[in-house]
Amino acid sequence: MIFIDQEKKQILSNNCLNCQDEFFQPPNRLFPKVGCCSYSPTFYLLEIANICIDNPSFFMNSILKHPKAETFAYSIKVHANVHPTYQQTSQEHLSKLEKDDLKLSYSTCQYFDNGCSLDPSYKNAVCRTFICMTIENSLDEKHKKLLHKWTKTFSKEEMDFQVKHETKLKQRGINLIETPAKVIKYFQELKD
């Protein structure tokens, strides 16, 4: 079953408390179950704006300056933590896709701490809407339609915000790589 939280713009499922999706199982019993939170999230301008308005020091210290952050002009990807034992796995006969899947099974998102540690408004649309095929296949038609409708709605909001504010930031000649303090100020002024 899924629950659409329209206020916080996210889709939730109780099934995630004990993830049964075959693709997202840990490599062995020693690893904790993190389900699809093996992901490396990218923060787009919508969530960057929310964080800059709400908690700029968290943005600076835990996202922009995160040791695993890869900063682009208008987004930031924070790479997941890959457990060191991944390096000991045999990969000789694996395709690129199989290697990526294996690496994912040894990975944990930097913001995972017995569940997501981020406020929903700090999470990108994928993190707020991803529902695996195991859950999706168990839904009736009505809930499948709701899932698709709200996934599209929340993703579109993120994309529209990105296009609008990327254009404005480019017009001002500011970006997250060269002038992050000006980007923070730009978003903080949006709330006034």
Query: Which residues sit at the interface with ligand SF4, rule CB under 6 A?
Result: 13, 15-16, 19, 21, 24, 35-37, 39, 41, 109, 111-112, 116, 118, 123, 127, 130-132, 134-135
Q: 132 or 176: whose CB is closer to ligand SF4?
A: 132
Q: 77 or 182: whose CB is closer to ligand SF4?
A: 77
Least CB distance to ligand SF4 at residue 134 (A): 6
Alpha helices in the chain (DSSP H): 45-54, 56-58, 96-105, 125-129, 133-138, 141-172, 180-190
Q: 127 in helix, strand or coil? A: helix
> Which residues have a Cβ under 8 Å from the Cβ of 107 and sit 6 or more positions away?
38, 39, 40, 80, 81, 82, 83, 86
Q: DSSP label at 88?
A: G
Residue of minimal Cβ distance to ligand SF4 = 35
> Which residues have a Cβ under 8 Å from the Cβ of 137 and sit 6 or more positions away?
none
Q: 138 or 167: whose CB is closer to ligand SF4?
A: 138
Least CB distance to ligand SF4 at residue 145 (A): 18
Least CB distance to ligand SF4 at residue 171 (A): 30
Q: 115 or 172: whose CB is closer to ligand SF4?
A: 115
Contact yes or no for 70/63 (Cβ under 8 A): no
Least CB distance to ligand SF4 at residue 99 (A): 20
> Distance between CA 49 and CA 11 in Å, rounded?
21
Q: 134 or 179: whose CB is closer to ligand SF4?
A: 134
Least CB distance to ligand SF4 at residue 151 (A): 12
> Distance between CA 53 and CA 60 in Å, rounded?
12
